[in-house]
Structure 1
Amino acid sequence: METIWPKTKQLLESTLSPGLYNLWIKPLSARARDGVLELSAPNAFVATWVRDRLTDAVTEAAAVVMGTRPKVVVTARAVDDAPAKTAIVPPRPAKIHKSLTLPMEPKAPELIPDRFRFSYDEFVVGPSNELAYVASKGICDMSLSADQLFISSAPGLGKTHLIQSMGRRLCHDGEDHGRSLRVAYLSAEEFANRLVMALKTKQVERFKAAFRENVDVLLLEDVHFFRDKPRIQDELLNTLKALNSRGCRLVFTSSFLPRDLTGLDPQLLSRISSGFLAVIDKPDLATRKRILERKAAIHQVLLPDEVSTLLADRLHADVRQLESCLQNLVLKARLLNCRISVDLAWDVLRHYDLAARPLTLDDIVSYVCDVYRISPDQLVSKSRKRQYVLARNTAFLLARQHTDLSLVDIGNRFNRRHSTVVKGITSIERHLSLRTPLGRELERTIESVHA
């Protein structure tokens, strides 16, 4: 029984992001008895956070170790002999989010290079992303005239690949030159969560020191998450001022251009957008084909030229779509124990053939209304009914992905301000990135738009 929690923690470390694991799971102690796993947190705030967000993950991992799904009990350790607060949580379906972040030690947030999934060696450069690629390497070797970079693109076009490649390169360069370069990489949501925890646990000064005094390079993803969060924006602004004064390098990513980031404090927006701006567009045919060939080499499979040409010609939406189709093609070939062929590719493409013709906004409206079983009038109505809001947000994302309309034009079509469009797209992206049950359902809806 004594090995149950260590083995469970080992599984959680491999499935949760390093940030989640180090911040919330590592401080816990536990014991298992009679089908119950009792978790003990250092304080009530951590206990509540774990109970609300990570119980599912703990239950699933413990079930693997124990052979049966346990009942999870979360307690906050007693202070001054006061009774511990206890919450018994019944098992629920797992919601495990795998992402890449830095572990947060109060004294100095540092990254281990091996925790980065992407590298420059795997990045395929083409006309659509060459500027962002060159600028990112310029930040790394300090050949760029600016010490700040803002990378913007629609979802799935390579922002995360580039920023993680930068982190990996910066850490390795520091090691090669015998110096310890302190690189902090995290999402805007994780920055916000850590600030909230610091406020709750009265460790704000340690939080400030960690990010203002012990970082040489800050890599911050999805800065549009900070919209309409004034308290967190204030702290971020002061952090950026401190880093700027020390000559640190700053890199930001967003699915939106700076001009579209309404809801941000003007001073913060000015800071974020004061460096070099690089926009990644959709890859052209030649680049899409080279991406497929590079991914096939990683999978160690032979991808015939006619197959890569077919896939590249038919799949236009984003790089994730190319990767998803190729992975399904490789898996099907292995399951059937056959070679990858044009016929097999066509069979897989039935589920991905999204490039039959360019989509118009009317096509998107028709599709969304059909999927959500609502009328066009309901889609553009003022109603805040959950189904209508979800349908509108889905339409916003599809319009951004498949048309050249501006956010203002998209908002006008749905009788909404462009800030509402930004908020809606951000909400859908969050579900997609977290792989929530709704996110997985949305992913299928988005991928089937041309079917």
Structure 2
Amino acid sequence: MLNAVEKISDEKIERDAVQIWKDCLSIIKDNIPFISYSTWFLPIKPAEFDGTKLKVYVPSNYFIEWIEEHYNTLLNRTVNQVIGESGKLVYLVLDEKEPLTKETTFTQNIPEPKEVKQTVEIQKEFESGLISKYTFDNFIKGEGNQLARAAAYAIGDNPGQTSFNPLFIYGGVGLGKTHLIHAIGNKILEKFPEKRVIYISSDAFTVEFVEAIQSNTVNDFSNFYKSMDALIIDDIQFLVGKEKTQDLFFHIFNALHQNGKQIVLSSDRSPKELKGLSDRLVSRFLWGLQTDIQPPDLETRIAILKNKSETYGINLSREILEYIAHNITSNIRELEGCLVKLLANASLTNREIDFDLVKRTVKEVSTTKQVNISIELITKVVCEYFDIEENKLREKNRRKEIVLARQIAMYLSKQLTKSSLKTIGLHFGGRDHSTVIHAQTSIEEMILSDLKLKEIINTIKNKIEMTAA
């Protein structure tokens, strides 16, 4: 019976501590900037209250030194107001084994972090910025995003502990970069709800930094982001040309990386293509994994359309899905826009979704110039220019002129069509995707120094476009 009484008493002590600390936070929040409040007070967790002493958990000794130096008067006034003149605040350090010697600041019994998780209520009063609907479950996997998705999923399972830190995802507009990085954050919070995860665009980050300069709270701004377990920044290319923001982000990046915290970045270009970004930032972006997202192939576009149409509650035939997927190839956002427009047209005209309506909607939505450039056409024009039989490009022929023509055809197929590397390789005698990559790289390197070759390729390209128009 005595044990039951003691258990009830302990629970009451914990509940009292939680309520008292909440009362303290409500006063503190009204007296300092929100970013200072988020950085220095939200990480503090209540432990117990014995009638006069409120014991709280803090991350480190340094944390206490900063608080006492900058907010000691506010804390004393707050504790006296909530508890009374005899009230005292006692700190328990979670991460450090050696407590400070001041008895009024620390106790000698440092709790184990595992025990703390069982007794401390998770409390986060800052917006993560994550969009909950973006998850791995509704992200359609395809050939163009396999590596990016696999790395993102691994990070969601084990943030900061993989070799993918930072993870740098790049690619064109509307290909799913934002969906994927939100999915990482949502998975981290699902598996580790106690972690501090934040998503922000680089534009919003810059705006907050400018406001921090104006309010003289740059240190608090920096420390807030350094306190995160996972920092996710979208469209990092917009830091280009913003030297002061780059400088601050460099220090935040270093602090997070050194402490094993996860960094996820997205961009419309690879790190090396971000001209105007400091070399030291680019070098750090190259520390982890850089992976691109390619436009979805036909099968992936069909799967995306099927998934989205089911979400909207409509059942489209395979023929209609294939028609839309064949005609809208640029990005996922345009595919989704087509479905929304299709629903709107059907609703406004009060008619069933048939091929005529689909064709009209596709024409209204598509921003891509409809030209019939195919790998077959490219092969035909290349072979005509070099006076080579088309089947020679599919054979295992190593003659210099044949190899060059094949590489140019592969290069232009990648440039002028939405075909995947695998599809291009199959058209040229079932070659591996790595052969296509090698061809593209070889041609890109050659045209940098060989102006005549560059002119030849431009001539071929113009002929292809004129033939397809």
TM-score (norm 1): 0.54
C-alpha separation in 1, matches of 2:355 and 2:174:
26
**Paired position in structure 2 for 1:145:** 163
| Matched-pair contact (CA < 8 Å) for 1:315–1:355 | no
**Paired position in structure 2 for 1:295:** 308
Verify: 1:190 aligned to 2:187, yes or no: no
Unpaired runs of 5+ residues, structure 2, are: 1-28, 34-123, 375-413, 419-439, 449-467
Residues 112/200 of structure 1: CA separation in 2 closer, same or farther (3 Å cut):
closer
Count, aligned residues: 262
| Matched-pair contact (CA < 8 Å) for 1:302–1:340 | no
Shift of 1:359: 7.6
C-alpha separation in 1, matches of 2:186 and 2:310:
21
Write the letter of the residue equivalent to 2:218. Answer: V
C-alpha separation in 1, matches of 2:282 and 2:310:
41
Deviations 1:70-98, CA, capped at 9 Å, x for gaps: xxxxxxxxxxxxxxxxxxxxxxxxxxxxx
C-alpha separation in 1, matches of 2:169 and 2:142:
16
Instruction: Give secondary structure in 1 for the equivalent of 2:315.
Output: coil
Deviations 1:166-201, CA, capped at 9 Å, x for gaps: 1111111113xxxx1100110111111111100001
Deviations 1:310-355, CA, capped at 9 Å, x for gaps: 0001111111111111111111112223222212101212224536
Verify: 1:116 aligned to 2:143, yes or no: no
Instruction: Give secondary structure in 1 for the equivalent of 2:192.
Output: helix
C-alpha separation in 2, matches of 1:257 and 1:130:
17
| Matched-pair contact (CA < 8 Å) for 2:148–2:293 | yes
| Matched-pair contact (CA < 8 Å) for 2:163–2:288 | no
**Paired position in structure 1 for 2:184:** 166
Instruction: Give secondary structure in 1 for the equivalent of 2:137.
Output: helix
Write the letter of the residue equivalent to 1:203. Answer: T
Instruction: Give secondary structure in 2 for the equivalent of 1:296.
Output: helix
C-alpha separation in 2, matches of 1:112 and 1:252:
15
Write the letter of the residue equivalent to 1:188. Answer: S
C-alpha separation in 1, matches of 2:207 and 2:260:
26
Unpaired runs of 5+ residues, structure 1, are: 1-26, 28-41, 43-106, 361-399, 413-449
Q: 1:248 aligns with which of 261, 286, 308?
A: 261
Shift of 1:243: 0.5
C-alpha separation in 1, matches of 2:154 and 2:137:
16
Q: 1:259 aligns with which of 272, 283, 300?
A: 272
Write the letter of the residue equivalent to 2:264. Answer: V
Q: Please provide the CA RMSD for this pair.
A: 3.0
C-alpha separation in 1, matches of 2:147 and 2:316:
29
**Paired position in structure 2 for 1:270:** 283
Instruction: Give secondary structure in 2 for the equivalent of 1:225.
Output: helix
TM-score (norm 2): 0.52
Shift of 1:286: 0.5
- For residues 2-401 of structure 1, the aligned pairs below 5 Å read 109-111=126-128, 115-142=131-158, 144-175=162-193, 180-212=194-226, 214-353=227-366, 354=368, 356-357=370-371
C-alpha separation in 2, matches of 1:165 and 1:333:
32
Shift of 1:273: 2.3
When Rg is computed on C-alpha atoms for both structures, the one with the higher figure is 2
Write the letter of the residue equivalent to 1:356. Answer: Q
Residues 314/355 of structure 1: CA separation in 2 closer, same or farther (3 Å cut):
farther
